[in-house]
Structure 1
Amino acid sequence: MTTGQALEPAIRVQGIGKSFKDLHVLRGVDLEVEAGSIFALLGSNGAGKTTLVRILSTLLKADSGTATVRGFDVGTEPGKVRESISLTGQFAAVDEVLTGRENLMLVARLRHLKSPAAIADDLLIRFSLTEAGNRKASTYSGGMRRRLDIAMSLIGNPPVVFLDEPTTGLDPQARVEVWQTIKQLADGGTTVLLTTQYLDEAEQLADRIAILHRGKIIQDGTLAELKQLLPPAKVDYVEKQPSLEEVFIALVSEAGEAGTADADRVDDKVAARKELR
């Protein structure tokens, strides 16, 4: 990596737009993701989260705007981008006929890496799957299958990982297992862009959160910064900080009414309602 690349955000998106015929999915998206951080892209179904991830991972071309991953342009340098990333989709892409260890070895061989068996064993240890390594993936629980899927995506040590709704369909215990895995990735220096519609997931994991609504980022900040958009509720002289869920609903409702992401107007409206009460 050059000095210029090291100073840049791991991911930079500027004015990205994408339409499918008359359906405008992305309407000028801007965001930046710092290296080694977990960035959550939060939005309802149909907000455009997966479309943006597909553009960033070079699977789809944007209609307008620019985006870079580790300094490489996704439109003009797709090969360099692909060397820098890994993508885990909404559903685990493991081969259920193979064992966990065989799945890992297969990917290592496809990437033409040396010592695929050693790579597989190391990842089984890292993701607490050693005891299940010689079992067929079809016998894995949802959380185990998802952890194996993420482990497979890390073969080759990509510095940037896209996780598109990684806990969809998982039970609460399996979700916690995946959360722990994601935190370990960031602790090891991996940049993680996480899309989710689960508010508690963003609250638990993200260093920064962007709310995507109707194809636009209507707010972007740390959890603490987003909570400051709503005044604390006072109940029996005890201040209650607004939850991320309250912030999300207020911002999305305001954007739907006015078609804009003016945070000051959100704050004023919420404050006025509280005064009326």
Structure 2
Amino acid sequence: MTNLSFHDSHGADDVDPLMVRSVEKAFRVLEAFDGSNRSLSLAQIGANVGLDKSAAQRFTHTLNKLGYLQKDPITKRFELSLRSLEMARHFITANPLVNQAMPYLLHLSRETEEAVNLTLPDGTDIVFAARFMSRHMLNTDVVVGTRMPAFCTAPGRAILSRLPMDEALSLLERSPLQAFTSQTVHAIDALIARLETARNAGYATTWGEFFPGDLSVASAVLDQSGRPVAAVNIGVSNARYTSEKAEEMFAPLVVAATRSISQASSTF
């Protein structure tokens, strides 16, 4: 059974004798590209990753030859290629939990016509592994692979609420607790109270704590040992729902979906 519980995915030991530094640097080059850095020059890549010009040239040349970077012949700037997207496809198609959840996510999407998501825990964050968009186009910048803090998102709190309290507290203490909106709950004591409420209810809610106006209701998917391995959430806008109505309508649906996913699979 794959353990998809929270872990520190960026805590590589600098003195690990088995660590291949060139592989690490290659992935750092790829990770330098994002929504605000769609296209980068060789100098920008070197500065962002901490490589001298010669090393940056070797890494970008290699990644270009392998098909993970493409180079504009005129500007000489680099971008991620379509092949880099295949890595996400490989993960999704190979992950039994994501595949098991898909029919239930599709059913929720058709039944509610709202945004439905499956998120997985990673360190102090959650990562979107599947997303069914709403025709109302809520948060169109959120795509598969988007990473968000767990402490101020309904899926993150749903997962945290099903962990042993000392483990959840440790993750909260390592989280970048900050106010993303005026509604963000970011004090430890208040967050612990929210987790206790979520654990008792079987689901978690957040009202505009990461995105203004975003109402989210989530429940955790559990493995056979009762540990949280994912969460399903439904997100709607406060322009169309009150928080009370969103909770009343969608909490039973996400709880039923995660219970079915948990019970249906014995492979993740």
TM (norm. structure 1) is 0.27
Larger RCO (CA within 8 A; separation ≥ 6): 1
Kindly indicate which of the two structures has a greater share of residues assigned to strand: 1
TM norm structure 2:
0.28
